[in-house]
Structure 1
């Protein structure tokens, strides 16, 4: 190979900036150009609106799969600022024009109220860049404004189209067929995630509607005022009527822990964990702490009531899962994710604090409900002897 053919210097480096970089390497921003990436586009579009509900500046969010293959995300908040309407964004956050064209603009700092845990959230600009067509409607101060983009580029200046009743922001997008391998959204997959977000964040009120089949449209509302407890209460074949649930804040952990659990008449274990509303399939310190606290409380109660002989070893976390349905959710100001896919929580103080909270609350429940406690411990003892 000649020296000329192998020469490499700064003149050969191509620097991609802004939305051009997103369109050139979409997988770096949304994970894939398949259905998973397509759904990520919807979550990015919805995240801002959902966080407005959590902030108390909006009441509900409506997501609609439209008949023409697009997605519409609407909220009833105050309406994002529009520069052409004279709103500079000061006091309201960045203008909508900037949020749609500048990467990371409008994305909030990571904290315990972040719905993505700070993972791959780059805001509306990514959604705009990967949409063949995007229309934003703002209803604010009695006026209705419309902004239109094609593949991230503004078609025209924001236009005032008349008066508006109420307030809010609506983003309607159609994924770009030049980017995605599929344009088919899965209602069930989207519903599963919005349902998760709703029971993990009890203030959320979200509706997902599918208008693609006009003969049989469907809509599901996701709202869990009781949080995790409401979700666990839906699990079938309970071994005991109560759902054991609690929430506690630990300043030294930098966040809160919420747990709901119940044993069911089933051989399977159904324990799921989340950090800042992000699924942690790899577990981590919060899940380890949950299992530590569970084993400590149940072992102590079994010994106190002589359900374990003095020579019997303590229960181990691995022995307690049969029939257990539980959700462990922590919300941290500074979450630390580990693993190749960042699906495992690594914050060290979390384990001890979650274990402490579980041990104390489960111990109190066992003492207050002796008949239910006996049923649970009998089930565990039977399972460990198999």
Structure 2
């Protein structure tokens, strides 16, 4: 046994006190210190205001992004956090809420029937991770203020002079730059979250002030999620196949609201919420929704004997083209983690299913003309899926093939098994040739693609599976596609997209990302998909050579070497004109290259962007171009 091991004793045990655990391990409480974690601070404070509104104590919420872009104020007209002294600690309740983990008014169920925050953690976590935080409370005709820094009180609770009307809480905070690499908030991200809150909570007035842009907007929706469904349909450019959506509101202990509509789109899109909090990873409420929907529709089809002979209708056929909003309110939500991305309550599944199935079946029977349109769309989906099944199975068989059945253009690596192997999917035969010569053949495989890749967002499943380039990619990767994807059969540890650094290369990368996001999302969620960063410029200054990824990188290099020898700048037309050694040094060599890991922070926003930029409806792209035309400095044609 080593000396170090023998000396391990009680003094080596560290007990973190107060809010120290939050500052030491912020990822446990907000998921990380990336942009998503930074904005989660805003969500925590806003959710507390929404809890007041959800329980009938507030009707207005106001959020302000201040001019520095790093400070946010959130206020409501609720009851105001209590300021009297706690009987045990003798500290003001406001101080306890903001400095003690698991301190709050949502544990006994007396003050909040439903809420998004049940752990008493959110407010204190925001305080712990803020450089500065100021809380102002209006209660009992008076106004109180208390200031904090990094979770530590800087002042005692102060009662301000003068009487005030109304009640409410106002929190102003600035994230701590020693915790977060970037502390600039994204205005559009905040605006979208607030707009969604106004949809989920009918008649709640939500105001957002952006002092950076000098704008203010107020949201209030009488129809709630029905208005939200219209908004989502518009965002996704989806054309409904029936006019009126199916809408359901039910309260039986727990409360559920949902609205859904079938469209001409080929994918299913469901957004779910629990007590107003978006659950991007779904959970028991979504499972109950899908189960109730499938059973309700299937019962209608079976009752009226509408299934064509020899055709099997699956749950995917029933849900194809469906767009739905599901909102559940429950007293004791069991979320998966502090970020509340998934609901785990097992009792919610039968609750949602038991209400939805009979209600949907009754609605279809009462609206036979609409129901028959929906069933015709489902049958068409089933027939299309049957027509493409043979092609899909052929691709799946190739996915598990041996080396002799791999694509002829694939230059595989020598090492057997996945190990640390890499597959570079390269744009064009010319670039593929340079990559094959420059790679380390022991662990790097090269698959060149010919020309522009198929836009899978606009293509049918059959057309996609018939495409030679798609077939080659699937066969080389080896793990299958869609519901048949099995990561255990993945032939490489990393899949790396390698295209030119110019606009054409970016377009090809976007096409490939669309394919992987829609049909092989597990590669992204498991951290297997990367984007290579080849240089666009070579900058020679004296005897030194620098590589620039883009114009901004080139300008930075030039600025850093101002006054030295006249620089010689070479712009690469493409990867194919790079010498193999140069491509190795700049792009392939693990010791010197730059790779971007493909990650998705916001699935809803990612879905919207892909739908807008790559979907069939060109109007969204036209609006995007017109809105941003003035931002273009150089046009690469």
Give the shorter-chain TM-score range: 0.7 to 0.9
Give the whole-Å Cα distance in 2 for the aligned partners of 1:261 and 1:21. Answer: 43
Task: Give the total of aligned pairs.
Answer: 371
Could you tell me which residue of structure 2 aligns to residue 192 of structure 1? Answer: 192
**Is the contact made by 1:107 and 1:123 (CA closer than 8 Å) also made in structure 2?**
no
Structure 1 residues 332 and 79, CA, compared in 2 at 3 Å: closer, same or farther?
Answer: closer
- Report the counterpart of residue 366 of structure 2 in structure 1: 368
Q: Which moved more, 1:15-24 or 1:140-149?
A: 140-149
CA distances 1:188-246 after superposition (whole Å, capped 9, x unpaired): 22233333333333253322221123xxx223334333232221133242221112111
- Does residue 320 (structure 1) correspond to residue 308 (structure 2)? The answer is no
3-state DSSP of counterpart to 2:349: helix
Query: How far apart are the structure 2 equivalents of 1:308 and 1:150?
Result: 66
Deviations 1:247-294 (Å, cap 9, x if unpaired)?
Answer: 22445xxx2332211112322321223334343444333323322322
Which is further off, 316-325 or 196-205? 196-205
Q: Secondary structure at the match of 2:115?
A: coil
Query: Is 1:303–1:309's contact at 8 Å kept on the other side of the alignment?
Result: no
Q: What is the root-mean-square deviation of aligned Cα atoms in Å? A: 2.9
Measure the CA separation in 2 of the matches of 1:354 and 1:193. 25
Closer, same or farther in 2 for the Cα pair 1:242/1:383, shift >3 Å?
same
| Shift in alpha-carbon separation, 1:202–1:150, aligned structure 2, 3 A | same
2:42 counterpart of 1:45: no
The answer on whether the counterparts of 1:106 and 1:123 sit within 8 Å (CA) in structure 2 is no
**1:63: Cα distance to partner?**
0.8
What's 1:381 paired with? Answer: 379
How far 1:361 moved relative to its partner? 1.4
TM-score normalized by structure 2? 0.53
Structure richer in strand, relative to its length: 1
| Deviation, structure 1 residue 53 | 1.5
1:149 corresponds to: 148
Q: Which residue of 2 aligns with 1:245?
A: 247
Deviation at 1:72, TM superposition (A): 0.4
Greater Cα shift, 155-164 or 127-136: 155-164
Residues 334 and 137 of structure 1: is their aligned pair in 2 closer, same or farther, counting only changes over 3 Å? closer
Contact 2:104 2:120 in 1 (8 A): no
Which residue of structure 1 aligns with residue 230 of structure 2?
233
Per the alignment, do residues 107 and 123 of structure 1 end up closer, same or farther by CA in structure 2, a change over 3 Å counting? Answer: farther
Q: Which has the higher contact order (CA 8 A, sep 6+)?
A: 1
1:162 and 2:161 equivalent?
Answer: yes
Partner Cα separation in structure 1 for residue 215 and residue 299 of structure 2: 50
**Helix, strand or coil: the match of 1:259?**
strand
In structure 1, C-alpha distance between the alignment counterparts of 2:92 and 2:54, rounded to whole Å: 19
CA contact (8 A) 2:103 2:120 kept: no
Q: Aligned equivalents of 2:354 and 2:309: distance in 1?
A: 24
1:124 is displaced (CA, Å) by: 2.1
Shift of 1:10: 0.7
Structure 1 residue 177, shift from structure 2 partner: 1.3
Question: Aligned partners of 1:284, 1:106: CA distance in 2, in Å?
Answer: 26
Post-superposition offset of 1:48: 2.1
Aligned-pair CA distance for 1:165:
3.5
Q: CA deviation at 1:70?
A: 0.4
Which structure 1 residue ranges, 5 or more long, are not aligned? none
Aligned to 1:98: 96
Q: Distance in 1 between matches of 2:379 and 2:261?
A: 16
Residues 355, 48 of structure 1: alpha-carbon distance in 2 compared, 3 angstrom cutoff: closer
Where does residue 272 of structure 1 map in the other structure? 271
CA contact (8 A) 2:116 2:274 kept: no
Per the TM alignment, residue 75 of structure 1 is displaced from its structure 2 partner at its CA by: 1.3
| Distance of 2:222 and 2:116 partners within structure 1 | 18
Structure 1's 269 and 112: CA in aligned 2 closer, same or farther, altered over 3 A? farther
Equivalent position of 1:207 in the other structure? 207
Whether 1:114 and 2:111 are equivalent positions in the alignment is no
Q: Deviations over 1:286-313 (max 9, x none)?
A: 3233223222332333344443246654
Point out where structure 2 has 5 or more consecutive residues left out of the alignment: 385-637
Q: Which stretch of structure 1 is more off in the superposition, 342-351 or 240-249?
A: 342-351
What do residues 310-339 of structure 1 show as CA deviations (whole Å, max 9, x unaligned)?
Answer: 6654x3321112221112233333334569
The structure with more radius of gyration: 2
Which residue of the partner structure matches residue 471 of structure 2?
Answer: none
CA separation of 1:163 and 1:338: change in aligned 2, threshold 3 A: closer
Offset at residue 138 of structure 1 (A): 2.3
Q: Using the alignment, how far apart are the partners of 1:269 and 1:174 within structure 2?
A: 39
For the residues of structure 1 that align with 2:335 and 2:20, how far apart are their CA atoms?
29
Give the 3 Å change call, closer, same or farther, for CA 349–179 of structure 1 in structure 2.
closer
Q: Distance in 1 between matches of 2:351 and 2:158?
A: 53
Q: CA deviation at 1:67?
A: 0.9
